[in-house]
Each structure stands twice: as C-alpha cells, then as structure tokens.
Amino acid sequence: MRKSVLVTGSSGFIGKRLVEALRRKGYNIVEFDVKNGNDLLSYEDCRNASRNCFAVVHCAAILDEHSKALWKVNVEGTENIIKASSENRVERFIFLSTAGVYGNVKGIADENTEKSPVTKYEKSKARAEEIVESYQELIHITILRPAIVLGPNEYWRKIIKQIKKGFPLIGSGKNKWHLVYVSDVVDAIIFCLEHENTASETLNVAANDVLSLEQLVLEIKKSLGLEPKARKIPVWLGKLIAYLYITFSSKPIVTPEHVERLVRNRHYSIEKIKKLGWKPKVSTKEAIERTIDGLKISFNK
C-alpha cells in the first residue's frame, strides 16, 4: 500500500513542485490548498485531510506583510494542522519555516543562533516553530529553515526586471545573500521525509556557496547578457526613494521595509543537515541561470 502524504500549500511555488516529486516517487498525495477550497483555519478541514496519512508537510503560509490574515493563517493555521496530525497519529510532520527567523545575521547563523525575527512574516514563523516544537512528544517533527528560495516565480521576476532596467544597488552590496534553489528545498523535504535521523531536528537549508548582494546582482546581469557593473546609492538615499514611491505610487516597487531587508546580512551554516546525509545539488550561479531561463519569455520584450 502506498504511503499517503498531506502537502499543505500544494498549489504554491514549493508545494506544487513537491507534490510532483513525491508522486514520481510513488507516494499517494493529499493536496491541501486554499485554491482548492481548503482552509487551515478550519480544524475540521485539517483533521479530515490528515486522516490516514503517514506524513504531513506543512508548506502553506502567507508571505504578504500587508495581509490581515498573515498571523492567523501562519500561526493559528499551523496549530490546527499539527494538532489534527497528532490526533490522527500521523508519523511524521515537516514544517517549512524560514532562515529569516534569525533576522540580521552577525557572521554565520547555525541552528543554535538566537532567533531575532523582524518582519511580521518572520515573527509568525518563529511563533509557529514554538507551537510545532510543543508537539514533539506526540509526533516526529522536523523544522526546515530555508534561505531565500530562488526560482522562476513572481518575486524573482520583479527583482530581475528591476536589475535589467538598471535600478541601482542600495548600500555597499557587501552583505551576504545566501540563497537556495527551489529544487534543493524540495529535495531536502523529501530527504527528511525518508530519513528517521532528521526527526526532532531543526535544520538550515541553503546552497553550498554564498554570494554577496553585489555578486548576486552581477551574476544576474551576466546571465541576462548585460555588462556586469552595478551602480550604487547609499542606504539613506534608497530609503528616501522608497518613501517617495509610497507617497506618489499606489504600487511602489520598493518600500523602506524592502530596503531594510535588502541590506541585511544573510549567511547560514548547513553543516548540520550535511552531516545527516543531505547536500544541495545546485550552485547559486546555476540557480540564477535556471531561474532566468524559466522566466525568459518576459525578458524577450
């Protein structure tokens, strides 16, 4: 009999790729997504969906900082799905958190680094982690903290378009911007699903290599066939421009919060998960090329 795995956020950027990969491996997939009419805030929905499942992979979350439902979905929704999973005696629960819970990293953050979330999204994920951890006596849990996930989606479409237009780099660009390609996140989830030694662990997931923000921008320009040069402006000017965008545009391309996140240092140790037997397969340079290739239609205009 094929094992059943419930994937929340099954229509999302990571979730849909995870569903495809798990099906190729022979798992029976239970999809759970708001687009399919499922509701994390309905305990009954969570209980019905997780019944008779071997594992639950909780990917669903709201990232939009302006969404009024962010805290309820990311925190209360997480509590609903893990409580239901525990009640239904699900064997494995994998929670997709974020390395953003570390905040602005000094040096290199490992899993023991104190959490210092800044944004509403990061704070909601940090609180959700605490809820998940409170169930570890009842269900085998694994918490994954991916770096910023790179891949062909709307988030990266907007960023790459701005780089192509010559939008200046804010700050020195020397801050580390550790990334991970979407297929490596999927691969790490499946690894944790299939390896008992990852139970009761919190694990960072990121690429082997880490670029500075400036190096990232230059690599994107190279992949676009542009001259690898970056025009820079100081942080104060970037924030001023952001405030002007907010004042005079209904859809600002950059906000002061964006600037703060842009100049943050992001560097994460992945030694723990590597010792357990997993390692990333895609370099940052290859991830950039794959992402641009996946978005190439928009760059032909």
pLDDT tens string, the chain, 301 residues long: the values are 689 999 999 999 999 999 999 999 999 999 999 999 999 999 999 999 999 999 999 999 999 888 999 999 999 999 999 999 999 999 999 999 999 999 999 999 999 999 999 999 999 999 999 999 999 999 999 999 999 999 999 999 988 998 998 888 989 999 999 999 999 999 999 999 999 999 999 999 999 999 999 999 999 999 999 999 988 888 877 777 667 766 666 565 566 666 777 889 999 999 999 999 999 999 999 999 999 999 974 444 4
Helix (H) or strand (E) holding 121: helix 120-133
Helix (H) or strand (E) holding 157: helix 154-164
Q: DSSP letter string over 179-223?
A: EEEHHHHHHHHHHHHH-GGGTTEEEEE--SS-EEHHHHHHHHHHH
Q: Where residue 193 sits, what CATH number does that domain have? A: 3.40.50.720
Phi and psi of 84, rounded to 5°?
A: -65, -40
Within a domain: residue 264? no
Within a domain: residue 91? yes
Within a domain: residue 137? yes
Within a domain: residue 31? yes
Number of domains in the chain: 1
Within a domain: residue 244? no
Spatial distance between the Cα atoms of 102 and 115, rounded to a whole number of angstroms: 4
At 233 the pLDDT is 85
Q: Is the dihedral of CA 81, 73, 149, 210 positive or negative?
A: negative
At 15 the pLDDT is 98
Crossing angle of helices 284-294 and 154-164, rounded to 10°: 90
Within a domain: residue 217? no
Q: Cα torsion at 270, 176, 145, 118 (round to 10°)?
A: 150
Within a domain: residue 22? yes
Q: Which two tokens stand for residue 283?
A: 């370099």
Within a domain: residue 101? yes
Domain holding 136, by residue range, is 4-150+178-207+272-281
At 6 the pLDDT is 98
Spatial distance between the Cα atoms of 121 and 123, rounded to a whole number of angstroms: 5
At 297 the pLDDT is 43
Helix (H) or strand (E) holding 84: helix 77-87
At 254 the pLDDT is 63
* Cβ neighbourhood burial of 17 (10 Å; 0-12, 13-18, 19+): middle
Helix (H) or strand (E) holding 133: helix 120-133
Whole-structure pTM over 0.75, yes or no?
yes
At 26 the pLDDT is 96
Half-sphere exposure of 192 (CA within 13 A, CB side): 33
